[in-house]
Every structure is written in structure tokens, then in C-alpha cells.
Amino acid sequence: MSSTMGQVIRCRAAVAWEAGKPLVIEEVEVAPPQAMEVRLKILYTALCHTDVYFWEAKGQTPVFPRIFGHEAGGIVESVGEGVTELSLGDHVLPVFTGECGECRHCKSEESNMCDLLRINTDRGVMIGDGKSRFSIKGKPIYHFVGTSTFSEYTVVHVGCVAKINPQAPLDKVCVFSCGISTGLGAALNVAKPKPGSVVAIFGLGAVGLAAAEGARLSGASRIIGIDLNPSRFEIAKKFGVTEFLNPKDHDKPIQEVIAAMTDGGVDRSIECTGSISAMISAFECVHDGWGVAVLVGVPNKDDAFKTHPMNLLNERTLKGTFFGNYKPRSDIPVVVEKYMKKELELELEKFITHEVSFLEINKAFEYMLAGESLRCIIRMEP
């Protein structure tokens, strides 16, 4: 691939002109990367529920017209001033959050919450100059979480780009750039179940199933899946889930049901729904003395969490996590490498339920809305 550094690129992008309406394939102009930015050629992207959530704009600030997409794999096409760690042709995963390497969070071994590049769902422009790199006939088209991968080319801050092994299959490892890492890391990095543990997973979508995989890899003896949609139970067996509960089937709080079937509560729970009631249940279902509950799902902005303080005083631990506590640039390349060397016994193919061409991108939304899809891979090229 020859560099077109400094030039505007015209390419196809799937533009969301308004909330909830089908995306439209348009020819867009993609400006060159500015200081500390890179322009990427996207080869594969996937549809995540977060894209659908903000496309619907329910309870969120609507920012349109916009190019969604944040779970992808591609190649560096050109770099802006000051970029030294990436070169033309590097294989990369763009990530919705970043790692500047300079702030207190980035220098901490305990945090991945970068001060500069932390996710901002309302910002539709680049952080450097407050402008969009996308336009149609001079009209700006807004970015989404700094990635906008539903475009053949996109511009991303260098701190939000993970350079990976060029031998890694981009059509599979692209899912590490969001949901799979979030769930996997919630288990491996935050919940840290010990061998023989009993683990409860609330929500059996892609993130919850990745958390189940993390529990399985940790040696959990029982993995209890809780979901309001029983159609998810059969596929969850492939991810190590051993038992299933639907709160609708019980006339008492599901945390009480779980406590009764686990001799007082589970060792670890991981909540992956964003539902406040599920968060409360996840916390209250862990065993006193040593139980740890990890919250992964993102609630609505006005939600509030309520539980009795004695649940904490009785030595239950409540934790939150963001992107599985992985630092994008430092940790994701290592995760990919472990996957390639089979040190991480993870079958990414199990998460990929559909594949469509870029021109069929609206089918991916249909699959997700119908509850049929864990991950739909979108091929940018025919």
C-alpha cells in the first residue's frame, strides 16, 4: 500500500444521518491525520451493541450525522506529525479508549483510565483541534468515540491504536478491540476467580460470554448464567456456562435464589447488562467474607445504585471495570500474541455468528436488534 500522506482520501462510509434510520453508504472525504494522529485503512469491522445504543440515541445526546463503529482491524495508511511508534503498513486495532502514556492513570499499574483519551461518547470531533476529519461536500460528518470504523478510511489519535502481530487474522482479532477484551478482562484482571470457584455471570451477550470464558480459563467449577432471554442458554454452554437462571421464572429476588443454590452465595459475580436491578443482584448474590462483584455494564446516566451498607460491612467487595482493565497500547498486543501462541485458550470463532459485506451493513443491525448476533463481522472489501 503506497502512502497518500498529506492528501485527502475519498472513500465509502456508512453514515448515520439521524437516529434509528438505516445507515447510508456515502462517498466521504477523509482529511490527512494531524499531529499525533494516524489514518487507517479499515479491513474488517464488527457491530457492537454500543454502536446500536448510540445509533438509537435513546437517553443519550444525539450527535448526527455520524459515522459509527469502534471494533475493527486495519492497516496504517499514513501518520501525522509527532507519531514515531507507528509506520505505514502496520497492522493495528483502533480502540475506543486510549493510553497517552503520560498521565497518572497511564503511569499507574492499577488503572487504564487515561486522562487525555478516556472515552467520550458526546464528542464528535478530534481531540487535537476540535474538528472532524470527515466531510461530504464541505459539510462535517461527526466521529464516534474517536474511531468511526464504519468507513474504509478513518483518522484516530495515536494513543488509541494498538499495534499487533501482522500474522494475526484481522477478521477475528478485531473483536479484541472492545467487547471480548472487556468481558475477558473483567474476569481475568478484576474478578480473578480462584480455581474451583463458583461464578455468576449476569447477561449472556458477547461481553458476558467473554466473561464466562475468563471464568472458565481461571478454573471455575461452576459458572451460573443469568439472563432474561432463555434463547441464549444453549449457545452459552459453548462458553463454559454450566447452569442457567431466568429471573422471570422465580417469585423472589434472583440473588436469594443464587444464595440458596450455592450455600450462601457465589465467590465471584460479573454483571454485563447495564441494568441497575442486575447490578444490585450481582452484588448481593456474592458470599459474605470473600465474595467479589464486578460491574461491567453501563447504566443510563440518571440511574442510581442502592444496597444496604451491611452488605459491604459483611466483607463483600464491589468493583467496577472499564475495558477489562486493559491498557490499549500496552496490553492488547500481548493479548493478541497470547491468542496467536495458543497460550490463551480462546476460540474467537465462537463469538462471530454472522459476516456481511460493507454494502450489507444494515443487515448487521437487523441481526443485533433481533437478538440473533453476538458479533457480525463486516468486510470492508468485496
Minimal CA–CA distance to 319: which of 299, 297, 298, 292? 292
Whole-angstrom Cα distance, residue 221 to residue 214?
Answer: 12
106 noted as active-site residue: yes
Cell of residue 277, nine digits: 436491578
Tell me which of 37, 45, 114, 157 is the catalytic residue: 114
Tell me which of 66, 70, 105, 157 is the catalytic residue: 70
Residues 6+ apart with CB under 8 A from 358: 12, 14, 25, 152, 378, 379, 380, 381
Evaluate whether 47 touches 353 at the Cβ level (below 8 Å): no
Tell me which of 37, 39, 97, 100 is the catalytic residue: 100
71 noted as active-site residue: yes
160 noted as active-site residue: no
Tell me which of 4, 11, 12, 118 is the catalytic residue: 118
Residues 6+ apart with CB under 8 A from 178: 46, 48, 50, 70, 71, 95, 96, 323
103 noted as active-site residue: yes
Tell me which of 39, 45, 71, 216 is the catalytic residue: 71
216 noted as active-site residue: no
Minimal CA–CA distance to 97: which of 219, 181, 216, 202? 181
Tell me which of 37, 48, 160, 174 is the catalytic residue: 48
Evaluate whether 351 touches 184 at the Cβ level (below 8 Å): no
Whole-angstrom Cα distance, residue 70 to residue 176?
Answer: 11
The pairing of beta strand 268-271 with beta strand 243-245: unpaired
91 noted as active-site residue: no
48 noted as active-site residue: yes
Tell me which of 106, 160, 174, 285 is the catalytic residue: 106
11 noted as active-site residue: no
Tell me which of 103, 242, 243, 307 is the catalytic residue: 103
The pairing of beta strand 352-357 with beta strand 268-271: unpaired
Tell me which of 37, 39, 45, 49 is the catalytic residue: 49
Whole-angstrom Cα distance, residue 161 to residue 250?
Answer: 45
114 noted as active-site residue: yes
Tally the C-alpha atoms within 13 A of residue 146's C-alpha that lie toward its C-beta: 26
Torsion of CA 149, 154, 160, 165, to 10 degrees: 80
Could you give phi then psi for residue 258, rounded to 5 degrees?
A: -65, -40
Cell of residue 298, nine digits: 453501563
118 noted as active-site residue: yes
70 noted as active-site residue: yes
Evaluate whether 354 touches 374 at the Cβ level (below 8 Å): no
**Packing angle, helices 276-284 and 254-261, rounded to 10:** 30
Tell me which of 39, 91, 143, 178 is the catalytic residue: 178
Whole-angstrom Cα distance, residue 266 to residue 200?
Answer: 7
100 noted as active-site residue: yes
Q: Which residue has the cell 470531533?
A: 125
Tell me which of 45, 50, 149, 154 is the catalytic residue: 50
Query: Residue 35: what residue type?
Result: A
Query: Catalytic positions, please?
Result: 48-50, 70-71, 100, 103, 106, 114, 118, 178, 375
